[in-house]
Homo-oligomer: A and B are copies of this chain.
């Protein structure tokens, strides 16, 4: 059995979050100790880990709760299977879009890092203004991030 702190550490979150999710009805300790300390099982750790992953995917606590309650709210297996499949496929599509955005951004930031490699040895005075006339900032494949975070003046 795990304490609140152990559970939080395993799932890379905080004790406050564990307690908050309990208040919200997402997780529940199997028991309390004499002194009122929460006790969790490994199964609950798995559940919390899935909850954390779904949060990172951008689902609200209400959406996550709905997913966990979906099956028990259905009256037949085919109905439950259909609703769950619909819900999961919507989330898969949303994850696909999110992954694409993050990959693009990662690549953009990486190419900005290499674009400004030349600036590490730049000796121009008043470099803020001079960047606009510098050939480093005029590569035709200069990423958006470099234009916005580097070449423009604030």
Residues of A within 8 A of B (CB): 43, 46-47, 49-50, 53-54, 56-57, 67-72, 76-78, 80-82, 84-85, 88-89, 91-92, 95-96, 98-99, 101-106, 109-110, 112-113, 116-117, 119-124, 127-128, 131, 144-145, 147-150, 152-154
Quick check: A102 and B112 within 8 Å, CB to CB?
A: no
Copies in the complex: 2
Chain B residue, CB-CB nearest to A69? B154
Write out the residue numbers on chain B whose beta carbons fall within 8 Å of the beta carbon of A76: 127
Check A154–B92 contact: CB distance below 8 A.
no
Q: Which residues of B contact A54 (CB under 8 A)?
A: 105
The minimal Cβ–Cβ distance linking A149 to chain B, given in whole angstroms, is 6
- Given known contacts A80-B127, A92-B113, what 7 new A-B pairs fall within 8 Å (CB)? A46-B148, A47-B148, A50-B144, A68-B154, A85-B116, A88-B113, A89-B113
Interface of A is mostly: helix
Q: Are B106 and A99 in contact (CB under 8 A)?
A: yes
State whether B46 touches A78 (Cβ < 8 A): no
- Nearest CB on B from A62, distance (A): 16
Contact A78/B109 with A50-B148, A72-B153 known, Cβ cut-off 8 Å: no
- From residue A109, how far is it (CB to closest CB) to chain B in Å? 5
Contact A106 B101 (CB under 8 A): no
CA distance A110 to B93 in the complex (A): 10
- Taken together as a complex, chains A and B put the C-alpha atoms of A39 and B115 apart, in Å, by 32
